[in-house]
């Protein structure tokens, strides 16, 4: 379905990002995963090939993001799809939240998304085609205690998505967001079993989501089947936000 297309996935070395990168690669895409520079898991190293490449980059660094986009284009010739998955949490009640905790989450989750969209903007405009998919969260839609920084970053991603979708629509470029609910990833491993049970109990479908649930949505939004969809937020939460 994506034969010879080039897909860039930030946060592509773990969790939702890795599952999404693998899904596109299975569909014939050439994939560039962006990671923070820490040692890659063996699973990722086993995937590396001429059509599945890794690039280390601090997504919050504007200049580094530009250099990375240029490097990906040098290797693969172009970029057709951008999926912004890179994200961190620094949870805590506002009373005890440090300024650095707020700044780091905004820098990675929101500014990192801006950085890669900004540097891809002229490439996609010149092509007059392309897809951008930004990972937000249901927390960005409704907030969550102890996650003011994360909620703010993910709400910002939604505003960024809708604004850029309006700018790029006339160039045949689709820009959408996905807002996952409780997805079982390494980011959720630190949650206590009791808290997990309570969260699952609140989900109408009575199960946690998987990275594959989100990856499938990314495949859809990047496909021709979604060519008339832009500026939208696809919620994947098993009904949690109802």
* The pLDDT value given to residue 2: 96
Q: Is pLDDT at 15 greater than 80 in this prediction?
A: yes
Edge-to-edge, what's the strand order for the sheet holding 6-10? 52-56, 30-35, 6-10, 81-84, 130-135, 173-180, 233-236
**Catalytic residue chosen out of the listed positions 150, 151, 221, 237:** 150
Does pLDDT of 6 surpass 80? yes
Average pLDDT, the chain: 95
Q: pLDDT for 39-67, tens place per residue?
A: 899 999 999 999 999 999 999 999 999 99
The H or E element containing residue 236 is: strand 233-236
Question: Residue 189 — pLDDT band, cuts 50, 70, 90?
Answer: low
Assigned token pair, 123: 């490439």
Q: Is 121 a catalytic residue?
A: no
Q: Does domain 6-236 have CATH number 3.40.50.720?
A: yes
Whether the predicted pLDDT of 187 surpasses 80: no
**d(Cα 113, Cα 239) in Å, to the nearest integer?**
26
Is the pTM value of this prediction over 0.85?
yes
Reference 4, options 29, 31, 27, 23; nearest CA is 29
In the predicted structure, residue 194 carries a pLDDT above the cut 90: no
Show the beta-strand stretches assigned E in 24-97. Answer: 30-35, 52-56, 81-84
Averaged over 160-173, what is the pLDDT? 98
Check residues 202 and 216 and name the one with the higher pLDDT: 216
pLDDT value of position 78: 97
Q: Indicate the SS3 state at residue 161.
A: helix
In sign, the C-alpha dihedral spanning 206, 212, 215, 219 is negative
Which pLDDT score, from 0 to 100, does residue 139 have? 95
């Amino acid at each position: 379905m994506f034969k010879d297309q080039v897909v860039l996935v930030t946060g592509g070395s773990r969790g939702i990002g890795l599952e999404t990168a693998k899904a596109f690669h299975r569909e014939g895409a050439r994939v560039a995963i962006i990671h923070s520079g820490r040692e890659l898991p063996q699973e990722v190293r086993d995937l590396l090939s001429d059509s599945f490449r890794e690039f280390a980059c601090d997504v919050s660094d504007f200049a580094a993001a530009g250099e990375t986009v240029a490097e990906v284009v040098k290797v693969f010739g172009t970029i057709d799809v951008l999926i912004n998955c890179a994200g961190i949490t620094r949870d805590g009640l506002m009373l005890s939240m440090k300024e650095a905790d707020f700044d780091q989450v905004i820098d990675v989750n929101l500014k990192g998304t801006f950085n890669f969209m900004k540097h891809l903007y002229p490439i996609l405009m010149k092509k007059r085609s392309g897809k951008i998919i930004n990972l937000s969260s249901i927390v960005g839609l409704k907030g969550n205690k102890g996650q003011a920084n994360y909620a703010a970053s993910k709400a910002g991603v939604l505003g960024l998505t809708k604004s850029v979708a309006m700018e790029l629509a006339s160039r045949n470029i689709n820009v959408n967001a996905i807002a996952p609910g409780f997805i079982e990833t390494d980011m959720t491993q630190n949650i206590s079993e009791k808290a997990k049970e309570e969260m699952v109990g609140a989900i109408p479908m009575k199960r946690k989501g998987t990275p594959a649930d989100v990856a499938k949505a990314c495949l859809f939004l990047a496909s021709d089947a979604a060519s008339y969809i832009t500026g939208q937020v696809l919620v994947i939460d098993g009904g949690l936000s109802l």
